[in-house]
Chains A and B, each alone.
Chain A
Amino acid sequence: MLEIIVFSTLNGVLYGMVLFMLASGLTLIFSMMGVLNFAHASFYMLGAYFGFEIARRIGFWPAFFVAPILAGVVGALVERFGLRRVHKFGHVPELLFTFGLAFVIEEVVQMIWGKLPVDYRVPPSLDFTAFRLFDTTYPAYKMFMLLVAIGMFVALLLVLNKTRVGLIIQASLTHPNTVAMLGHDVPTIFMAVFGAGSALAGLAGVIAGPAFVTQPGMAAALGPILFVVIVVGGLGSLGGAFAASLLIGLVQTFAVAINGSLADIFGASAADWFGDLGTVTVAQIAPIIPYFLLVLVLIIKPTGLFGTRET
Chain B
Amino acid sequence: MRGLLASSFIALSVAAGSALAADTIKIAYIDPLSGGGASVGEVGLKHFQWLADQINASGGLIGKKLEILGLDNKTNPQESLVQAQKAIDQGAHFLTQGNGSSVAAALTEFAVKNNDRNPDKQVLYLNYAAVDPVLTNDKCNYWHFRWDANSDIKMQALTNYMKDRPNIKKVYLINQDYSFGESVRTTARKMLKEKRPDVQIVGDEKHPLLKITDFAPYVAKIKASGADTVITGNWGQDIALLLKAAADAGLQVDWYTYYAGGAGGPTAIKQSNIPDRVFAIVEGVPNDEPSDAQKLEEEYRSKFGGELRVGVWYPRVVNEVRMLAQAIKDANSDDAKAVAAKLEGMKFKTFMGGEGYMRKDDHQFFQDMYIANFGPMPAGAKFDEEKTGWGWKTQGIVKAKDTELPTTCKMDRPS
**Chain A residues near B (Cβ < 8 Å):** 1, 3-4, 7-8, 11, 15, 114-117, 119, 121, 129, 132, 135-139, 142, 211-213, 215-218, 221-222, 253-254, 256-257, 281, 283-284, 286-288
- B207 to A257, Cβ gap below 8 A? no
- A8 to B249, Cβ gap below 8 A? no
Known A213-B237, A284-B207; contact A115-B217, beta-carbon cutoff 8 A:
no
- A3 to B220, Cβ gap below 8 A? yes
CA distance A283 to B176 in the complex (A): 12
- B214 to A11, Cβ gap below 8 A? yes
The 4 tightest CB contacts between A and B, nearest first, are A137-B250, A115-B39, A256-B217, A212-B213
Number of B interface residues at 8 Å Cβ cutoff, please give it: 32
Counting residue pairs across A and B whose Cβ atoms lie within 8 Å, the total is 86
CA distance A142 to B214 in the complex (A): 12
Binds A, one of B124-132, B147-155, B263-271, B314-322: B263-271
- B220 to A114, Cβ gap below 8 A? no
- B264 to A212, Cβ gap below 8 A? no
**Chain B residues near A (Cβ < 8 Å):** 35-36, 38-39, 177, 205-208, 211-214, 216-218, 220-221, 223-224, 237, 240-241, 244, 248-251, 263-264, 267, 271
Whole-angstrom distance from the CB of B76 to the nearest CB of chain A? 16
Known A115-B36, A117-B264, A217-B36; contact A15-B214, beta-carbon cutoff 8 A:
yes
Of A129, A139, A211, A213, which is in contact with the most chain B CB atoms at under 10 Å from its CB? A213
- B237 to A136, Cβ gap below 8 A? no
Whole-angstrom distance from the CB of B45 to the nearest CB of chain A? 14
CA distance A152 to B367 in the complex (A): 57
- B39 to A284, Cβ gap below 8 A? no
Known A7-B216, A139-B248; contact A213-B241, beta-carbon cutoff 8 A:
yes
- B39 to A136, Cβ gap below 8 A? no
- A287 to B211, Cβ gap below 8 A? yes
What are 27 A-to-B residue pairs whose CB atoms are below 8 Å? A3-B223, A4-B224, A7-B220, A8-B220, A114-B39, A115-B35, A115-B38, A116-B264, A117-B237, A117-B240, A117-B264, A135-B223, A136-B220, A137-B249, A212-B213, A212-B214, A213-B213, A213-B244, A217-B36, A218-B213, A222-B213, A257-B217, A257-B221, A283-B206, A284-B206, A284-B207, A286-B208
> Which B residues touch A222, using CB under 8 A?
213
- B237 to A11, Cβ gap below 8 A? no
CA distance A115 to B43 in the complex (A): 12
- A136 to B249, Cβ gap below 8 A? yes
- A221 to B220, Cβ gap below 8 A? no
Q: From B262, which residue of chain A is reached at the shortest CB distance?
A: A116
> Which B residues touch A211, using CB under 8 A?
214
> Which A residues touch B208, using CB under 8 A?
284, 286-288
> Which B residues touch A15, using CB under 8 A?
214
Whole-angstrom distance from the CB of B65 to the nearest CB of chain A? 31
- A116 to B39, Cβ gap below 8 A? yes
CA distance A142 to B249 in the complex (A): 11
Give the contacting residue for B218; candidates A215, A256, A288; CB below 8 A.
A256
